[in-house]
Amino acid sequence: MTGYLKHVLILLVTVALLALFLRQADLTAVGRELTRAHPGGVVLAMLASVATFVFRTIRWQYLLQPTGHVPFAPALRATIIGFGANAMLPGRVGEVIRPYLLARKVDLDPTATFATIVLERALDMITLLVLFALSVALLDPAFAVNDGKMLHAVQFGGLMAALAALGGLGVAFVFAGHAERVGLITERLTRRLPARASQLAVKGVSAFGRGFSVLRSPQALALALVHSLGVWLSIALTTWAMAGAFELDFPFPGTFTVLMFMAVGVSVPTPGGVGAFHESVRLALTSLYAADNDRAVAYAVALHALSFIPVSLLTLYFVAREGLTLRRIEDITRTGLPPGAAPLAEGSQAG
C-alpha cells in the first residue's frame, strides 16, 4: 500500500508540474518554435552530450583506480544504464544499478564501488557551484535581466548546497584517512547487535572506506577533479548550443545559472524528470533572461528530449544484453542490504 501511495503521489506531482509548465503556453506557437530550431545547434548539443558521458566514465575510472583496474567499455555501459534508469524509473535507482553492474562485470566490491558514486555526487555539486559562483561574481555580473530576487534565492540555495557538499567531502576525507579507526569505532558501537548484523555493519563501513581511498591518492583525485570540470563544461555546452538553436540570447557563463535551476528540478523524483526538469528550465529562462514563454517551453521540451531519449534507448539495448529488465532493476534497488551487496551475493559471492 505504501508503494502504491508513493507512486500516486509521484504521479500527482508530475501532473501538477506539467500543468504549471504549460499553463501560459500557446501549444501552436510552441510547435512552431520546435520546427524552427537550427539543426547546427542541435547537432553541437548532441556531440557535447556524448562528451559528457565520456568525461563521466573516465572520471569514474580514476575514482575506482585505488580499488582496481576498470576498463573503459564496461564503465561506459554501466554509466549509460545508470543514467538511463534514472530517466525511466523514479527514485534515482540508477545510482544503485551502476555500481551493481560494474562490480559484477569486473569483480569489484559492490559497496566500495557504490561509495565512488557518493564521491561523484559531491564532486558534481562542488564543481557546478564553483562554476556558478564564477559566472555570477566574475564573468557575467549583470545577467539577471528580469528577476533579481530569483537570482538571490538561487545564490542562497547554492551556498547551502555547497556547504553540505563540502561537509560531506570533509567527512569522506576523514573516513579515507582513518578507515581502520572508523572500523574499530563501528565494531564497538555495534557490539550489542546480533553478531551477523555487527559483522555486516563493520564490513560495509570497511568497504566504504576502500571506496573513498581515492582521496588518499592526490594524482587520481586531481584527475577526477579535472574530469569533473570537463563533465560540467560539456553539459553547459549542450545547454548553450541548444539555446542557440532556439535563438535564446544569453551568454555562455549564464548557462551555469540555468544548470543550477535544472539541478534543483531533477532532484524532484518525477519519472525522467518530466515536469520538474521542464518547469525549472522555463522558470530560469523567463525569470532571469526575460525569454519569451513559448520559446522557453519549446527549448525545455527539446533539451529534455536530447538529455533523456538517447540514453534511455541505449539503456534498453544494454539492459537486454546484460540479461536484465527494468522490473529486475527496480527489484535490485528495493533490497534492504547495502547497495549492490545482495544481488551480487546471489551470483558471484562478491557481496
With respect to residue 114, please indicate whether it lies within any of the assigned structural domains: yes
Query: What are the tens digits of pLDDT across the range 144-186?
Result: 455 556 666 666 666 676 666 667 666 666 655 555 555 556 5
Opening angle at CA 204, ends 167 and 219, nearest 5 = 55
Query: What are the tens digits of pLDDT across the range 104-160?
Result: 888 888 877 888 888 888 888 888 888 887 777 665 545 545 555 666 666 666 667
With beta carbons less than 8 A apart as the criterion, state whether 271 and 14 touch: yes
Q: What is the pLDDT of residue 348?
A: 31
- Give the rounded distance of the alpha carbon of 233 from its chain centre: 15
With respect to residue 203, please indicate whether it lies within any of the assigned structural domains: yes
Q: How many whole angstroms separate alpha carbon 316 and alpha carbon 312?
A: 6
DSSP state, residue 135 = I
With respect to residue 89, please indicate whether it lies within any of the assigned structural domains: yes
Instruction: Identify the domain containing residue 192 by its residue range.
Output: 34-130+158-239+306-347
With respect to residue 272, please indicate whether it lies within any of the assigned structural domains: no
Q: Supply 197's cell numbers.
A: 548484523
- Residue 247 zone, left/alpha/beta (φ > 0; ψ -120 to 50; rest): left
With respect to residue 122, please indicate whether it lies within any of the assigned structural domains: yes
Evaluated on CA atoms 117, 122, 128, 131, the torsion sign reads negative
Q: How many whole angstroms separate alpha carbon 255 and alpha carbon 237?
A: 8
With respect to residue 92, please indicate whether it lies within any of the assigned structural domains: yes
Specify the pTM. Answer: 0.80
Half-sphere exposure of 227 (CA within 13 A, CB side): 20
R_g (Cα) of the chain, nearest Å: 21
Total domain count, the chain: 1
With beta carbons less than 8 A apart as the criterion, state whether 267 and 158 touch: no
Q: 54 falls in which pLDDT band (50, 70, 90)?
A: very high
With respect to residue 151, please indicate whether it lies within any of the assigned structural domains: no
With respect to residue 214, please indicate whether it lies within any of the assigned structural domains: yes
